[in-house]
Amino acid sequence: MHDLRSASPRRLGDLRHLFSYLRPYRPSWVLAIVTSSISMAFGAMFPWLVGQLLDAAIPSLKIVEVQPWQRDLNTVALVLIGTLLVQAVLMFISSLLFHSVGERAVVDMRQELYGHLIGQPLRFFGEHRVGELTSRLSSDLAQIQDTLTFTVGQALRQAMLLVAGLVMIAATSVKLSLVMLSSVPVVMLLGVLFGRRIRKLSSTAQDRLATTSTVVEETLQGIANVKAFGNEPYENSRYARGLHDYLAIVLQTARSRAALIAFIIFAIFGAIVLVLWYGSHLLREGQLTHGNLTRFVFYTMFIGGAVSSVPEIISNVQRTLGATQRVRELLAEPAELLVANTERSPAAPLPRLRGQVAFNDVHFRYPSRPDLPVLRGLNLEAQPGEKIALVGPSGAGKSTLVSLLLRFYEPDAGRLLLDGQDASVLDLRTVRANMAIVPQEVLLFGGSIRENIAYGRPGASDEQIRAAAEQAHCTEFIARFPEGYETLVGERGVKLSGGQRQRLAIARALLRDPAILILDEATSSLDSESEALIQSALDVLLAGRTALLIAHRLATVRRCDRIYVIEHGTVTESGSHAELIAKPAGTYRRLAEMQFAG
Ligand code: ATP
């Protein structure tokens, strides 16, 4: 009971939300409804005209008044064809309009949802699985699309046919109508019962199919692992089990569905037999003409068709409301606040920072793991233009520190200062526009080399891109590809070596021209030639900027102004290489001896 009461306002909200996407296309939407209605009205005239045709053929049996034109077989047939033509043309227009409005509305919806999704703070992605999010973007919206483009129009048409059919049979013969309609409750009841069972079964089937998809996803993602362990047969049997469960339930669904279809056909024809049987009696008694009986049979088919489509339409609408609800929940998640200072217009150029960074007694835990303190009273500082190195054992919190600097997360306590101001009062876009990151694992997007460099600053000119590539020593490997800057990289393009990818990332960062540079040094060793090229590219990139380096190599650390040793979320040692190496029992000294291994 409680469920019912709380469900309806929510459902109403879902419905309103759904229809809000149609608002921009109201004229087309209204026109679609109007043309569809007129087309149905013409369609509903069809049985009536067929009746006329028959009564014109056997005029002696006429009961109703017949106009002179209705006596002429050819005229009636022509009117019949004309009606069908008008109905077909209007149907074409309305169907086109329903589709175009529905598709446009869903495109808007997809765009909004996607924009909202990528505007979510990083915390959000720790709480949701990517698979679940992509499924909302694809399957939920596909469901909504299906309803907006097809089901709404179908429901409207069936409703009109039902009303028209009922009016027409009542006008033809009240007695016969009552006999025919007496069969409807039984049919409806069985239809609803079957429909409910099918709905339940197909939702279980969907769940089971989703489980098998997870197996495929996991296996393909870790295919190298599967092969290394020789676990193909194991994965195969895991998939087979999933499919077996799925098959059991779809076969049950298929049985119910087949029974429902058979029942509907039986019910419709049964109703027709009933009508013919009782109608023939009326015909014999002279209470009904041939034409009237034929007309009645046609309208009975209309009504049967409309009634039998009700469960399908209802279940479709329910699924769509469920999908809309999930979309609404997602849209209700607050997005990252990009502009903290609302007085600034988003179009104004972003101010440039000098590049002073300070962490003052920063404490932090990840929202997804509130029991684990990751940073515990961390202090560090970099003056504009200074290069500082972060070293420390794995899991100490170095990457977390970088995430806080990029303001992916906010500190639980303590402050992050940029140019002496609390970072949390700065516009988020300003903060990020002044930073660039060269990660350990460079992610290349499926696109050309030029696009991948330009990602650092969308809208950069070709000269700027070439200059950055030149400085980052990318040109000699780019020149070796026949298509040069237009060479496709990423999943379906050429594969670049680790060193080449690094240089591309450096070119990207150079183009961005940040005040603060974050460099997560690659751990894998490169050959000395690549190493030298990267080092020289980095020298250009580092010049005149503040840099935080998560360092894995002694050579890099030595060149830094200051080194911070981070352990268990706090700074345990800091100073220059010479100072730290001089400490006999220091962590730095130990790590340096192991070359920061691990
Ligand atoms: P490494 O050198 O191995 O990259 P690190 O010093 O950069 O290590 P962090 O990645 O900052 O260490 O991790 C610090 C701690 O925070 C670890 O215990 C890790 O398990 C935890 N952690 C990191 N990222 C998350 C996250 N997104 N959600 C929850 N916990 C996290």
pLDDT of res. 492: 65
Asked whether residue 304 falls in the same domain as residue 388, the answer is no
Cα(524) to ligand 1 centroid in Å equals: 19
Task: State the pLDDT at residue 363.
Answer: 95
Q: What distance in angstroms lies between residue 397's CA and the mean position of ligand 1's atoms?
A: 6
Q: Are residues 101 and 197 in the same domain?
A: yes
- From 123, 365, 400, mutation site for ligand 1 pocket: most ligand atoms within 8 A of C-beta: 400
CB-based contact 391:596 (threshold 8 Å): yes
State the pLDDT confidence band at 89, using cuts at 50, 70 and 90.
Answer: very high
Q: With bands split at pLDDT 50, 70 and 90, how would you rate the model's confidence at 12?
A: confident
Q: What percent of the chain has pLDDT over 70?
A: 92
Q: Is residue 70 part of a domain?
A: yes
Q: Which helix (H) or strand (E) is 351 found in, with range?
A: none
Please check whether residue 384 is in contact with residue 420, taking contact to mean a CB–CB distance below 8 angstroms. Answer: no
Kindly report the protein residue whose alpha carbon is nearest to atom 19 of ligand 1: 395
Is 282 touching ligand 1 by the criterion CB < 6 Å?
no
123-167 pLDDT, tens digit each:
888 888 777 788 778 888 998 999 999 999 899 999 998 999 999
pLDDT of residue 447: 86
The neighbouring-strand residues paired with 575 are 563
CA 481 – ligand 1 centroid, Å: 38
Lowest-confidence range among 84-88, 193-197, 376-380? 193-197
Establish whether residue 345 lines the binding site of ligand 1, counting it when its CB lies within 6 angstroms of any ligand atom: no
Same domain, 295 and 413: no
Residue 287 in this model has a pLDDT that exceeds 50: yes
Amino acid at residue number 536: S
Domain contains 536: no
Question: What HEC string does 427-443 produce?
Answer: CHHHHHHCEEEECCCCC
Q: Which atom of ligand 1 is nearest to the CA of 126?
A: 27
Nearest CA to ligand 1 atom 16: 374
pLDDT in tens, 388-437: 999 988 889 999 999 999 999 999 999 999 999 998 888 888 899 899 99
- For the CA of 396, the closest atom of ligand 1 is 6
Residue nearest to atom 9 of ligand 1 (CA): 397
State in Å: Cα 399 to ligand 1 middle: 6
> Is residue 543 in a domain?
no
Q: Does 518 contact ligand 1 (Cβ within 6 A)? A: no
**The predicted structure's pLDDT at residue 221:** 82
Reading the block at residue 487, the tokens are 């060479």
- Going by the DSSP 8-state scheme, the letter that residue 483 receives in this structure is T
Nearest CA to ligand 1 atom 31: 366
The finding on whether 397 has its CB within 6 A of some atom of ligand 1 is yes
Does residue 496 form part of some domain? no
Binned at pLDDT 50, 70 and 90, residue 524 comes out as: low
Res 597 pLDDT > 60: no
The answer to which of 128-137, 140-149, 284-293, 469-478 has the lowest mean pLDDT is 128-137
Q: What distance in angstroms lies between residue 418's CA and the mean position of ligand 1's atoms?
A: 23
Closest ligand 1 atom to 397 CA: 11
Could you tell me if residue 65 is inside a domain? Answer: yes
Give yes or no: residues 256 and 115 share one domain. yes
- Ligand 1 binding pocket includes 394 (Cβ within 6 Å): yes
Distance CA 213, CA 43 (A): 45
What value does the mean pLDDT take over residues 286-297? 88
pLDDT of res. 342: 46
Assign 565 a pLDDT band (cuts: 50, 70, 90): very high
- Listed range (82-86, 138-142, 494-498) with the worst mean pLDDT: 494-498
Considering the domain boundaries, does residue 448 fall inside one?
no
For ligand 1, whether the C-beta of 502 sits within 6 Å is no
Match 């217009």 to its residue by tokens.
Answer: 345
Ligand 1 near 399 CB (within 6 A): yes
Q: What CA–CA distance (Å, rounded) separates 478 from 486?
A: 9
What's CA 182's distance to the chain center, in Å?
Answer: 47
pLDDT at 388: 94
pTM: predicted TM-score of the whole model, two decimal places: 0.77
Q: Do 311 and 372 lie in a common domain?
A: no
Q: What is the CATH number of the domain that holds 572?
A: 3.40.50.300
| pLDDT of 257 above 80 | yes
Lowest mean pLDDT among 69-73, 200-204, 481-485: 69-73
Contact indicator for 179, 282 with CB cutoff of 8 Å? no
Residues 378 and 293 in one domain: no
569 Cα nearest atom in ligand 1: 14
Residue 378 CA, ligand 1 centroid: distance in Å:
15
Give yes or no for residue 598 having a pLDDT over 50. Answer: no
Longest dimension (CA), the chain: 122
Q: Is 287 in the pocket of ligand 1 (CB under 6 A)?
A: no
Domain end point (choices 331, 346, 379): 331
In ligand 1, which atom is closest to the CA atom of 400? 11
- Ligand 1 close to Cβ of residue 598 (< 6 A): no
Domain assignment present for 445: no
Ligand 1 proximity of 423 Cβ (cutoff 6 Å)? no
* Alpha helix stretches (DSSP H) within 119-183: 122-127, 130-135, 141-146, 152-172, 174-181
DSSP 8-class letter at 211? H
551 Cβ below 6 A of ligand 1: no
Same domain for 323 and 368? no
Q: Quick one: pLDDT at residue 214?
A: 81
Q: With a 6 A CB cut-off, is 408 part of the ligand 1 pocket?
A: no
Q: What are the DSSP calls for 237-274, one per residue?
A: HHHHHHHHHHHHHHHHHHHHHHHHHHHHHHHHHHHHHH
The 10 Å Cβ neighbour count of residue 191 is 21
Does residue 255 carry a pLDDT above 60? yes
Residue 73: pLDDT over 50? yes
325 and 264 belong to one structural domain: yes
For residues 12-38, give the mean pLDDT.
91
Lowest mean pLDDT among 87-91, 245-249, 373-377, 390-394: 390-394
C-alpha 395 – ligand 1 centre gap (Å): 5
Higher pLDDT, 57 or 360: 360
Cα 437 from Cα 443, distance rounded (Å): 11
**pLDDT (mean) for 226-242:** 92
Interval 373-379 mean pLDDT: 94
Q: Using DSSP, state whether 142 is helix, strand or coil.
A: helix
220 lies in the same domain as 278: yes
Long-range Cβ contact pairs of 16-23 (< 8 A, separation 24 or more) = 17/324, 17/327, 17/328, 18/144, 18/148, 18/320, 18/321, 18/324, 21/105, 21/106, 21/108, 21/109, 21/148, 22/101, 22/105, 22/148
Give the integer Cα–Cα distance in Å for 17 and 41: 31
Contact 512 CB / ligand 1 (< 6 Å):
no
Could you tell which of 125, 359, 399 is best to mutate to test the pocket of ligand 1, judged by most ligand atoms within 8 Å of the CB? 399
Rounded to 10°, the helix 152-172/26-57 angle is 30
Edge-to-edge strand ranges of the sheet holding 421-422: 373-382, 357-365, 413-418, 421-422
Q: In terms of domains, do 313 and 426 share one?
A: no
Instruction: Find out whether the beta carbon of 548 lies less than 6 Å from any atom of ligand 1.
Output: no
pLDDT (average), residues 298-326: 86
293, 409: one domain: no
Contact 442, 501 (CB under 8 A): yes
Q: Is 369 in the pocket of ligand 1 (CB under 6 A)?
A: yes
Residue 416 CA to ligand 1 center (angstroms) comes to: 19
- Output the CA 109–ligand 1 centroid distance in Å: 36
Q: How far is CA 407 from CA 123, 279, 351, in A?
A: 11, 79, 17
Residue 277 pLDDT level (bands cut at 50, 70, 90)? very high
Reply yes or no on whether the pLDDT at 528 is more than 80.
no
What pLDDT digit, counting tens, does each position of 338-372 carry?
Answer: 644 444 455 567 788 899 999 999 999 998 889 99
Which of 331, 366, 397 is the endpoint of a domain? 331
* Distance (Å) from CA 396 to ligand 1 centroid: 7
What local confidence, expressed as pLDDT, does residue 507 receive? Answer: 92
CA 270, 276, 279, 280 dihedral sign is negative
Residue 51 lies in a domain: yes
Model confidence band, residue 39 (pLDDT cutoffs 50, 70, 90): very high
Helix, strand or coil, per DSSP, at residue 380: strand
Return the pLDDT at 222. 85
The CB of 368 under 6 Å from ligand 1? The reply is yes
Task: Tell me: do 389 and 289 sit in the same domain.
Answer: no
Instruction: Compute the mean pLDDT over every residue in the chain, rounded to the nearest whole number.
Output: 86
CATH code of the domain containing 77: 1.20.1560.10
524 lines ligand 1 (CB under 6 A): no
Q: Is 342 in the pocket of ligand 1 (CB under 6 A)?
A: no
Interval between CA 400 and ligand 1 midpoint (Å): 6
Please work out whether the CB of residue 591 comes within 6 Å of at least one atom of ligand 1.
Answer: no
Alpha carbon distance 506, 542 (integer Å) = 10
Q: Give me the sign of the Cα torsion angle 326, 327, 331, 332.
A: negative
Q: How far is the CA of 165 from the centre of ligand 1 (A)?
A: 68
Number of domains in the chain: 2
Can you tell me which atom of ligand 1 is nearest the CA of 403? Answer: 11
Supply the range of the domain harboring residue 115: 10-331
Task: Give 299's DSSP letter.
Answer: H
Query: Is the C-beta atom of 396 inside 6 A of ligand 1?
Result: yes
Q: Is the pLDDT of residue 2 over 60?
A: no
